């Protein structure tokens, strides 16, 4: 199937013809003739595979550089105070409008200072010292193919990206480039760089808590335009922007051509969090074509697809294709109110789910996660906005962070500023909303981190604590912040068995497939269940010992109950027989460890891929009109071979 598809044309083209020929096709899930999207593994067994296998070891343990190249108000609120108490045309809720409102000169001035301060060499070296061996860098398509309003506003972004890549080359920190935002937005949310379809209102809606000021609505009208025209009545796409999607495929190849010379860059993620209403056949065809396009340019790269918060839709997809992984994002911040125990249990429930997905489809990367258990952090669901029904808990307030970029205002010291969205999330008299700390905050955050490590270690690559460190408001969303609080291991290079076995020892290793239809942007949420309170006693240092005690107590409890039945009271210890089954099943068995870093990468298909996606002409190499590039020999200099036996058209590092 892989060979036929590569030689006879793109999946997008064939799917477009099928949609055009029969409108009824739009309700089906797979295009004719491309039902499986699978590769023949026999055609990749060659020496080239063996040369590149070492690039995938050891297992990824990384963080995201969130809020750096692609601004998000909740990550860097101090950059967005300047847009409060402004009329709609002067209000910026995302990076698109940040550039539109400020204009190219002032916008670029602020961005350059932000880029330089948000990610420093010292930050990256600190991460390496903590055992981090990889970073995921979110980027926007406008960086590589500028268009308004980003065109001059983001001038210098490629230069800054090169700066960090050179540091990563030097300190041996691997990089996954993540296409986080595209033109017209792939999900309609600000994390794509453009919050689409915001509706401004002259008067406050009845549901609004604020009775004065400027009001807007986003959640009821949100949609994504990258895919095509969306019908909010039927909640389906009435037409698909095939040319727009193909342009993104071509852009991904151009990024690969431009960055493949950096030793640190080991792969690319095709698109972050595509809207879950994207037709699955269209999304699969896009990934399939993008895979071959990138492979033609950088056969040694890992290619990552994002699950679109539909983790179960990818069974068998791209099976047998070398160097492919599936990224899933696992958060508890959108859960209903729960006990501490249920958060620990639901963390461990992902261990078996990840194992099942990897056995049936692709190696899994947990690309984003956090320690947050609520939506309280300001602007998480949008600038001066909140998703309907959130937050579900009572939040706390703390002093708002002051700007680190010069020449911009701080938070208003009086009142609650405009505008007002569907829900409440805004500064109030210089105070910003954050999570209310647990009474035993240090203990529970440490426990939660350990349970997530144990569960996510099942995946091929441990993902990220959402952002690097400079989340300005809460350490639960920041790796470096959580590390400084003592919630994380000193070094995660070789996690001890006592940490990795916490979920096994606790018995909380079950699969839950419950979903919450009220959260269309989020993945299938594991249902809560109650497990042994012994879990609350477990820590990294005593995990193994207490794990044995927990198993003994479990067997003893089951024996004592005998034929009297199991207690069902709220405070009774729930010890179902499945725990014994899982314990027996896991004896003498190591976690698979199969994954991105253990995946056998074969590259003999490079010439085959080039038949379908020939490399673009040299004059199409990404060029940025930037004075910083004049003396920079990183992307646009004379091509020469690198240490990776690249071809003559390799871009100079």
Residue 49 has pLDDT above 90, yes or no: no
DSSP string, 149-210: TTTTTTTTHHHHHHHHHHHHHHHT-EEEEEEEE-TT-SSSSGGGT-----EEESS--TT-S-
pLDDT on residue 461:
57
Compare 364 and 594 and report the one with higher pLDDT: 364
Sign of the CA dihedral with 138 first, then 144, 148, and 154 last: positive
Compare 642 and 409 and report the one with higher pLDDT: 409
Residue 265 has pLDDT above 50, yes or no: yes
Compare 44 and 178 and report the one with higher pLDDT: 178
The token pair that represents 418 in the structure block: 């405009």
Chain centroid to Cα 602, Å, comes to: 26
pLDDT on residue 73:
97
Instruction: Measure Cα distances from 269 to 60, 64, 96, 291, 400 in Å.
Output: 14, 13, 21, 10, 34
Residue 28 has pLDDT above 70, yes or no: no
pLDDT on residue 56:
52
Question: What residues act catalytically?
Answer: 273, 368
d(CA 192, CA 203) in angstroms, rounded, equals 29
Q: Is 4 exposed, middle or buried (0-12, 13-18, 19+ CB in 10 A)?
A: exposed
What does R_g of the chain's alpha carbons equal in angstroms?
25
Give strand pairing partners of 201: 215
Compare 133 and 602 and report the one with higher pLDDT: 133
Buried-exposed string 117-148: b where 16+ CB fall within 10 A, e elsewhere: ebbeeebbebbeebebbbbbbbbbbbbbbbee
Confidence of residue 4 (pLDDT cuts 50, 70, 90): very low
Residue 309 has pLDDT above 60, yes or no: yes
Instruction: Measure Cα distances from 503 to 344, 445, 455 in Å.
Output: 9, 16, 7
Question: Which phi-psi region, left, alpha or beta, contains residue 584 (left: φ > 0; alpha: ψ -120 to 50)?
Answer: alpha
CATH superfamily, region 2-125+132-340+354-378+598-629: Glycosidases (3.20.20.80)
Lowest mean pLDDT among 20-24, 190-194, 468-472: 20-24
DSSP string, 418-464: S-B-SS----BTTEEEEPPPPTTHHHHHHHHHHHHHHHHTTSSBB--
The answer to whether the beta carbons of residues 482 and 476 sit under 8 Å apart is yes
Confidence of residue 349 (pLDDT cuts 50, 70, 90): very high
Per-residue pLDDT, averaged over 113-135, amounts to 96
pLDDT on residue 9:
63
d(CA 444, CA 421) in angstroms, rounded, equals 33
Sign of the CA dihedral with 216 first, then 219, 220, and 224 last: positive
Compare 74 and 608 and report the one with higher pLDDT: 74
- Of residues 631, 531, 541, 608, the one with CA closest to residue 573: 531
- Of residues 562, 570, 558, 583, the one with CA closest to residue 503: 583
Residue 272 has pLDDT above 80, yes or no: yes
Per-residue pLDDT, averaged over 124-135, amounts to 95
d(CA 356, CA 497) in angstroms, rounded, equals 22
The answer to whether the beta carbons of residues 227 and 276 sit under 8 Å apart is no
Cβ neighbours of 20 (radius 10 Å): 11
Q: Return the HEC string of 2-24.
A: HHHHHHHCCHHHHHHHHHHHCHH
pLDDT on residue 608:
37
Lowest mean pLDDT among 94-108, 217-231, 348-362, 582-596: 582-596
Instruction: Measure Cα distances from 540 to 451, 490, 505, 553 in Å.
Output: 10, 12, 12, 20
Mean pLDDT score of the chain, rounded to an integer?
77
Cβ neighbours of 87 (radius 10 Å): 10
The predicted-structure confidence for 593-648, as pLDDT tens digits, reads as follows 322 222 222 223 333 344 444 454 433 334 343 434 333 333 333 333 333 333 33
Compare 457 and 438 and report the one with higher pLDDT: 438
Where do the domains of the chain lie? Answer: 2-125+132-340+354-378+598-629
pLDDT on residue 159:
98
The predicted-structure confidence for 483-533, as pLDDT tens digits, reads as follows 999 999 999 888 888 888 899 765 544 433 333 333 333 232 232 332 322
- The position carrying tokens 């959260």 is 519
Cβ neighbours of 623 (radius 10 Å): 14
pLDDT on residue 505:
65
Confidence of residue 252 (pLDDT cuts 50, 70, 90): very high
649 contact partners, CB below 8 Å, separation of at least 6: 257, 615, 618, 639
pLDDT on residue 173:
96
Which DSSP symbol is given to 524? Answer: P
Give strand pairing partners of 269: 178, 304
Task: Please provide residue 406's backbone torsions phi and psi, each rounded to the nearest 5 degrees.
Answer: -75, 150
Residue 198 has pLDDT above 70, yes or no: yes
d(CA 180, CA 309) in angstroms, rounded, equals 15
Per-residue pLDDT, averaged over 264-284, amounts to 97
H or E, element range at 366: strand 364-369
Lowest mean pLDDT among 183-187, 356-360, 435-439: 356-360
For the CA atoms of 96, 98, 102, 108, the dihedral, rounded to the nearest 10 degrees, stands at -90
The predicted-structure confidence for 326-336, as pLDDT tens digits, reads as follows 999 999 999 88
Residue 161 has pLDDT above 50, yes or no: yes
- The position carrying tokens 């389906």 is 236
Per-residue pLDDT, averaged over 397-415, amounts to 95
């Amino acid at each position: 199937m892989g060979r036929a598809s590569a030689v006879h044309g793109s999946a997008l083209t064939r799917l477009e013809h099928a949609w055009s020929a029969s409108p009824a096709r739009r309700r089906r899930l797979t295009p004719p003739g491309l039902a499986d999207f699978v590769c023949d593994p026999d055609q990749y067994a060659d020496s080239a595979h063996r040369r590149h296998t070492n690039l995938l070891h050891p297992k990824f343990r990384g963080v995201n550089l969130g809020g750096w190249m692609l601004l998000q108000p909740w990550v860097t609120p101090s950059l967005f105070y300047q847009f409060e108490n402004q009329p709609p045309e002067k209000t910026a809720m995302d990076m698109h409008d940040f550039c539109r409102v400020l204009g190219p000169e002032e916008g670029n001035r602020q961005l350059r200072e932000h880029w330089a301060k948000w990610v420093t060499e010292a930050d990256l070296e600190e991460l390496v010292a903590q055992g981090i061996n990889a970073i995921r860098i979110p980027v926007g398509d406008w960086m590589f193919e500028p268009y308004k309003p980003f065109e001059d506003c983001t001038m210098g972004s490629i230069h800054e990206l090169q700066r960090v890549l050179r540091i990563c080359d030097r300190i041996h920190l691997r990089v996954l480039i993540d296409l986080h935002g595209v033109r017209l937005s792939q999900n309609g949310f600000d994390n794509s760089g453009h919050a689409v379809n915001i509706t401004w209102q002259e008067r406050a809606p009845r549901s609004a808590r604020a009775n004065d000021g400027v009001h807007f609505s986003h959640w009821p009208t949100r949609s994504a335009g990258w895919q095509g025209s969306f019908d909010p009545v039927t909640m389906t796409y009435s037409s698909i922007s095939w040319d727009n999607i193909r342009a993104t495929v071509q852009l991904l190849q151009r990024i690969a051509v431009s960055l493949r010379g950096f030793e640190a860059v080991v792969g690319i993620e095709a698109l972050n969090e595509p809207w879950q209403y994207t037709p699955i056949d269209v999304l699969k065809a896009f990934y399939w074509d993008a895979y071959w396009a990138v492979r033609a340019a950088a056969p040694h790269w890992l290619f990552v697809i994002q699950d679109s918060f539909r983790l179960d839709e990818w069974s068998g997809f791209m099976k047998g294709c070398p160097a492919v992984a599936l990224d899933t994002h696992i958060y508890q911040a959108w859960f209903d109110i729960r006990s501490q125990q249920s958060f620990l249990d639901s963390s461990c429930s992902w261990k078996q789910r990840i194992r099942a997905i990897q056995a049936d489809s692709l190696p899994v990367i947990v690309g984003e996660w956090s320690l947050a258990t609520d939506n309280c952090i300001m602007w998480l669901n949008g600038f001066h906005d909140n998703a309907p029904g959130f937050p579900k808990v009572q939040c706390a307030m703390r002093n708002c962070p002051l700007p680190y970029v010069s020449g911009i205002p701080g938070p208003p010291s009086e009142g609650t500023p405009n505008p007002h969205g569907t829900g409440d999330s805004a500064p109030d008299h210089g105070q910003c909303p954050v999570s209310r700390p647990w009474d035993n905050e240090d203990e529970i955050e440490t426990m939660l981190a350990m349970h997530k490590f144990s569960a996510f270690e099942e995946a091929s690559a441990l993902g990220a604590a959402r952002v690097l460190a400079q989340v300005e408001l809460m350490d639960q969303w920041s790796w470096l912040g959580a590390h400084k609080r003592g919630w994380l291991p000193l070094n995660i290079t070789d996690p001890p068995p006592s940490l990795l076995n916490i979920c096994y020892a606790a018995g909380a290793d079950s699969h839950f497939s419950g979903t919450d239809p009220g959260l269309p942007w989020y993945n299938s949420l594991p249902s809560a269940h109650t497990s042994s309170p012994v879990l609350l006693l477990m820590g990294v240092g005593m995990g193994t010992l207490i794990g044995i005690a927990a198993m003994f107590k479990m067997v003893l409890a089951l024996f004592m109950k005998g034929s009297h039945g199991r207690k069902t009271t709220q405070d009774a210890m729930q010890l179902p027989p499945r725990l014994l089954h899982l314990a027996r099943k896991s004896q003498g068995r190591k976690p698979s460890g199969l994954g991105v870093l253990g995946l056998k990468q074969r590259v003999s298909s490079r010439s085959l891929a080039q038949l379908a996606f020939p490399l673009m002409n040299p004059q199409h190499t990404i060029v940025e009109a930037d004075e910083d590039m004049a003396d920079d020999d990183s992307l646009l200099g004379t091509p020469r071979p690198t240490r990776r036996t690249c071809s003559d058209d390799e871009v100079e590092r």
